[in-house]
Amino acid sequence: MSFAPKKSLGQHWLYDPAALQAVCDAAHIKNSDTVLEIGPGLGTLTNALVERAKHVTAVEFDRDLASELSSRVTADNLEIINQDFLQFDLGRLPSGYKVAANVPYYITSKIVRLLLESDNPPAEMALLIQKEVAERMAAKPGGMSILAVATQFYAVAKLGPVIPAELFTPPPKVNSRIISLKYRKKPLFADVVPAAYFRMVRAGFGEKRKTLRNSLSGGLRIDKSAAEALLHAAHISPGARAEQLSLDEWHVLTVMYATSQT
């Protein structure tokens, strides 16, 4: 049976063998691993995964594709689940599982957040996503965003090869890039809870064009003089902007703010 890609589901299928192997390589898949694939589609990546992993769980939202996948990929170590991934129970997977996936552009951030914030996060991920988004996730201070801070708070991000649009069917309007994410075994900052940390980050990024003095004042609902004092205590210029800060500097701000409230 032939399938026409559904634009509403962001379906762009990758056939290039070298690119498919590059995704597997980026997740460091071994023959002892359980791998979760999100949106297997026609099974081109699935075929590569079942050859390298101990077990592959493929979660496919499209009912027609899910029903056909077992005939396209004949492997005893493949489990196919027809379900919206955002409703999938990650707790059913063994600890230390890995993720390898060609992820629909429109849902990338939701998928990454769900995986990283899960009670059973993957040990490693290799995601093929929009090039610009991959580079935003791995950005350094000076070009940070909430997505970059959130990603790197939970995982070490490393950019992989760029995959040109013409290697997909149908070709998307932009190029893709592989990003590998290695989950941090220990919390990056053990002395703050994520909710407090991200409250500070959201406050800082609340009004991107404003200085931190102004954005923190508005986001934390404190006087500008208090925001300026907080920034001075953290050795950060009140005139700096959120995209300039490192994860360590957000941590210092969070600790200083908590101290000021006690």
% of the chain with per-residue pLDDT over 90: 85
Give the predicted TM-score (pTM) of the model: 0.90
Tell me if residue 123 falls in helix, strand or coil.
coil
Structurally, the chain folds into a number of domains equal to 2
Per-residue pLDDT of 144-185, as tens digits, reads 999 999 999 999 999 999 999 999 888 888 999 999 999 999
Does the residue 188 lie in any domain?
Answer: no
Within a domain: residue 46? yes
Q: Which of the pair, 12 or 233, is modelled with greater confidence?
A: 233
229 assigned to some structural domain: yes
Residues 59 and 24 in one domain: yes
Residue 209: per-residue pLDDT? 79
Same domain, 106 and 179: yes
Q: What are phi and psi of 34, to 5 degrees?
A: -100, 130
Compute the distance between CA of residue 25 and CA of residue 81 in angstroms, rounded to an integer. 24
Q: What is the pLDDT of residues 3-35, one digit of tens each?
A: 444 444 445 678 999 999 999 999 999 999 999
- Give Cα 107 distance to the centre of its chain: 10
CATH number at residue 82: 3.40.50.150
Helices and strands counted in the chain (H then E): 10, 9
Domain extent, residue 146, equals: 7-183
Report pLDDT for 11.
Answer: 56
Band the pLDDT of 197: cuts 50, 70, 90.
Answer: very high
Q: Do both 202 and 88 map to the same domain?
A: no
Is residue 201 in a domain? Answer: yes
Pair (17, 44) in one structural domain: yes
